[in-house]
Each structure stands twice: as structure tokens, then as C-alpha cells.
Amino acid sequence: MQKNKYLFIIFSSVLLAATGSSCKKILTQEPKNSTYLEVYWKSAADCEYAIAGNYALLRDAFTDFHNRYYMYGDAQASPYFGIHYTGDGLENIEGGGWTFKYDVEGMGDWTKYYKAIAMSNLILQKVPTISDEVMGKTVADVPAYRNKIMGEALFLRALVYFELVKIYGDVPLVTVSYDDPLKAPQLPRSPKADVLAQIEKDAKAAAGLLVWGYEAKQDIAVRANRASVYGLLAHMYLWRATTTNMATPDPIMADVDNASNSIDSITMKGGYSLVDTADYLKQFSSRSSESIFEIAMSEDSKEGSNRHIGMEFLTNLYINGYGTGHRFWVLPSYLSSHYHFDAFNKDSAALGIDLTDTFDIRFIHNFDQIHEPEPICRKYSNVSYRNAGAQTDPFLSNNMILFRLSDMILLKAEIALYRNDLGSAVTIINDFRERNGAALRYRVDNTYSKDDLMYEYVLERGKELYLEGHLYYDLIRTRQYGNFIPWLSDSRFREEGIYWPINPLLFNDNRFLTQTKYWRGKV
């Protein structure tokens, strides 16, 4: 595939007309059909527009095709939510049958990810060519500013490649930008080990260029800092530790240790803190003390989303003009397995046999219509109307949270289990259940086996990080998929059937591409 054939389009999509348009609104800008290669890269403003465009391309890649970030990370783990059929075959995703035409063409197309990578490559090539003298006309500390832009571009490239390697396994690896798209080489898929090594290299370089804090309040959590990088590294190390050899559940302990060190850096130096449970839902409608990295979707700067996954769950109870039905719903079996809640046994408490965990803050605030066959998830329900007077043109103002402190702390329980430190895992799991008001009967203790604790850990991740794009990958890492994903057999797992097929149309642009191993002869 000629990944850079989109170079000119990508480049022009981040340029604003010289009318004083705000960088805060860059996600809403339309592409302009001009290359600008001879007149661009002449100032710090050019760098700012380019990196803002890089974030915009990241958002586009993650939200394309029915919010694919959540489709890969949550819908594939079928117990978490249901999908109604509407003609596009999206419901096949939760059943592991990924050969439906629309799914392969959408979810199997990595083009938009490579657009974001191409933008990162372009920034990394061009920013060093801007002289200190030119940059210094508008930037007081040129080295620090240059480091910031370069660090963000490295982080974004690493983040996109990490998403690609989790989805597809082996993927083409390109770290060079080409001014002439016709000279861009066609590349085969690189082994996932090489891609993960590049992610580690990029992330370490980014950590060295970025700082812990933020200069501007509006940048908090929605632009990368050093903590964002360590959050990515923590996940990358655990993924590499547990998926390098699919034939064994034993992780690579050096990577487990590296993940632990990455999280320790965040907790010791990042300045983050857990959100008070009294403000539970606020952390999803505004950047909180937990926020490490989020993709901007705030209506404060008119960057809300009218295609946000949260809108797929909501009805007219939450959005004016919507009907009583919804495309996605919370499976009652999820509420039963995670909160011991039987939606159709309303008299259990009266009979004195109430075994539910329904005082848990996450149960109370995240779900509605719990006694109906298709409960609602209201985690993302911060609705704004572009036409406020008539209450029409609804948008959700809920950022896409990629990394937050709760995620990092829970990962430490997984690390403890890999180290056979069951006591630390017990403490972390119980701390989460206690702070969220879970019933005492569901606390764990030292009588639990390692396997039992891993199961309870996965349940806790499933409650804390519901619909945050992590749950499928959690089940893969921990080998708990057998308890939650009916379609994923041990044989399919060993054959690496966890990875997606790629769209056969991509072969038209690259004769070196091969289909994902598990899907050869099936797509």
C-alpha cells in the first residue's frame, strides 16, 4: 500500500485560512486542496496547526466506522453490550464472525490510521528544518517548543501503531515521510515484534521531549505530556508481555516490570488523583483529576460529536427527538455477572435474599431502565444542542478517554498477579470495591486462588472501564476470554484469530500485502 499517497490531502487538512481561526476548533476544519509544501513550515504557527491536524486525524481514525475504537475494544468482548441489526452487519463483530462485507471494508481498512501516521512522519521530518531564528520570532523558548511538538508527534505515531498492532497484529511499518507520494515504497507487513519495538522507541523518545505538566489550561489531558506516554507504555508492555507467545499464559516478566515502572512514574510524578465518587459522572463530561489522555469531543469549543458511541445507547429520555429504541444496549447478563443483578427478580430484596451489588456507584450512575430487556448506558450522556432554543441538532460533549488513573492503578493488580503477589492484588481490588460502595460480601481475600483473583480483577476492570475501549484486550492479556467470549476458542486464540482481516481492496495498492494469517481462505 502506498501509505503516503494521501500526503498532500493530509497536509492540507491541517491548514487554516489566514483569518484568525482558533486552534481549538481545528477538528471542525474542512480540508483545503492545496499542497503548501513550498510556503509552509515557516513559523511556530505552522507547527501548531500541523500538530492540531495530527490530533484531528487521530480522532477521525478512532471514531470512523461506528466509533471503531469501542468496536474493537468493547464490542468484540460480546458480554458487554448488544447491537441491533440495521443492515450494516455491525452485530457480527460481537460474534467473532468478521467476514461480513461491510465489516471487512470498514473495520478491516486501516487507511485512516496511516493518514495519522503520515502526518506524524511529516511533522518529525519538517519541524527540525525550521530555523531557531524564524521560530524565535513568536516562541520564547525555541528548544522547549520544538521538543514539545516533536514529542507529541512521536507519541501520536506510537499510539496509532499500538492500536494497529492490537487490531491486526503484523502491519506495515513506515517512519519516513515522502514529499513525492509517487516515490513512496510499497511495504509488506512487518512482524508485530518489530512494530512493538518501534512503539517503545518512539514512546521513550517522546518521554524525553515532553514534560509532566501543561503550559495552557486548555491543553490538559487532550494534548500529550510525559504521563500520556507512560500510560501508553504501561499498556504496550503488558500487551507485549502476554501476546508475544500465544501458546503460553506465562508473561515476559521483563515487560511486566517495565509496565510497573511506567505506572509508578505516573503515580509518583504525574500529580493525578482519583475522582471523588460523589462527582462520578463529571469525570466523563469534563477533564478530571484522573485524566491522563483523552481525545477532545467537547462542545465548549464546538468539537462535540453527533456520532459519539454514547448516542447509540440513548433514547428520548436523554435526547430530544429520539425514539424509544436504541441501536446498542447493555446486556442484562453483564449486569448479572458484574453486579449480581437479576433484572427480572424484583422481589428478591423483599424476600430477604438480596445478593445484588447495586449500591455500587458505577451501577447507580452508569445504567438506566435496568428492569427492561434492553437497559441503557448513560455514562456518556452530556447532551448539548447546537440549536438550543428548539433543542435540535444534538451533540454529545464527552471526551474519548484513553488513559486515566483508575486504569493505571487496576493494571497494578494484574502486574501483582503475574508476580504471584496475591496480597497486593487483593488490596487493589478491594480498594476499588470499597470506594465505589460495593457490597461487603463481594470483597476478595487471601483464600482466593490466583485464577479466581484474575477473574475478579477482570470483573473489576469490566465495572470501572465499561465502554472505555479496554475490555476485549483485558480478556486477551489475562487469558480470561474463555469465561466471557463464547466465540473465542482456545484453538482460535492459539491460531491468532484475535486479529482482524484486512480489506482485500488494500491489496490493489500494494502487491506486497498478505492477508492476516487466520483469515486466509476465509475472506
pLDDT of residue 350: 53
Please determine, for residue 11, whether its predicted confidence score (pLDDT) is greater than 80: no
Please determine, for residue 181, whether its predicted confidence score (pLDDT) is greater than 80: no
pLDDT of residue 184: 81
Q: Please spell the DSSP secondary structure of 409-438, one letter per residue.
A: HHHHHHHHHHTT-HHHHHHHHHHHHHHTT-
At 193-234, the pLDDT tens digits run: 999 999 999 999 999 999 999 999 999 999 999 999 999 999
Q: Measuring CA to CA, which residue among 14, 82, 21, 17 is closest to residue 377? A: 82
SS3 (DSSP) at 165: helix
Residues 493 and 392 reside in one and the same domain: no
| Beta carbons of 401 and 284 less than 8 angstroms apart | yes
pLDDT of residue 8: 36
Residues 386 and 517 reside in one and the same domain: no
Residue ending a domain, among 396, 415, 433, is 396
At 82-102, the pLDDT tens digits run: 999 888 888 889 999 999 999
Domain assignment of residue 418, yes or no: no
Percentage of the chain lying above the pLDDT 90 cut: 84
- Which structural domain range is residue 364 located in? 309-396
Please determine, for residue 3, whether its predicted confidence score (pLDDT) is greater than 80: no
| Beta carbons of 231 and 267 less than 8 angstroms apart | no
Domain count, the chain: 2
Query: How far apart are alpha carbons 365 and 443 in whole angstroms?
Result: 21
Straight-line distance from the first to the last Cα atom of the chain, in angstroms, rounded to the nearest whole number: 18
Percent helix, strand, coil in the chain, to 5, is 50, 5, 40
* CA distances for 91 relative to 73, 104, 253, 331, 492, angstroms: 14, 13, 37, 13, 20
pLDDT of residue 349: 52
pLDDT of residue 344: 65
Higher pLDDT, 366 or 182: 366
Please determine, for residue 257, whether its predicted confidence score (pLDDT) is greater than 80: yes
What phi and psi, each to the nearest 5 degrees, are found at residue 396? -95, 135
DSSP H or E stretch at residue 44: helix 44-70
Question: What is the arithmetic mean of pLDDT over 143-166?
Answer: 98
pLDDT of residue 48: 95
Question: What is the arithmetic mean of pLDDT over 124-136?
Answer: 94
Please determine, for residue 183, whether its predicted confidence score (pLDDT) is greater than 80: no
Domain at 124, CATH number: 1.25.40
Residue ending a domain, among 377, 396, 415, is 396
Higher pLDDT, 370 or 10: 370
Domain assignment of residue 519, yes or no: yes
Question: What is the arithmetic mean of pLDDT over 466-470?
Answer: 98
Query: How far apart are alpha carbons 106 and 456 in whole angstroms?
Result: 34
Residues 493 and 389 reside in one and the same domain: no
At 403-415, the pLDDT tens digits run: 999 999 999 999 9
Burial pattern 326-343, b for ≥16 Cβ within 10 A else e, equals bbbbbbbebbebbbbbeb
Would the pTM count as exceeding 0.85? Answer: yes
| Beta carbons of 75 and 470 less than 8 angstroms apart | no
Question: What is the arithmetic mean of pLDDT over 116-124?
Answer: 96
Residues 390 and 511 reside in one and the same domain: no
Mean pLDDT score of the chain, rounded to an integer?
90
For residue 37, name the pLDDT band (cuts at 50, 70, 90). Answer: low
Please determine, for residue 391, whether its predicted confidence score (pLDDT) is greater than 50: yes
Domain assignment of residue 239, yes or no: no
pLDDT of residue 1: 37
Residue ending a domain, among 396, 426, 447, is 396
Residues 374 and 510 reside in one and the same domain: no
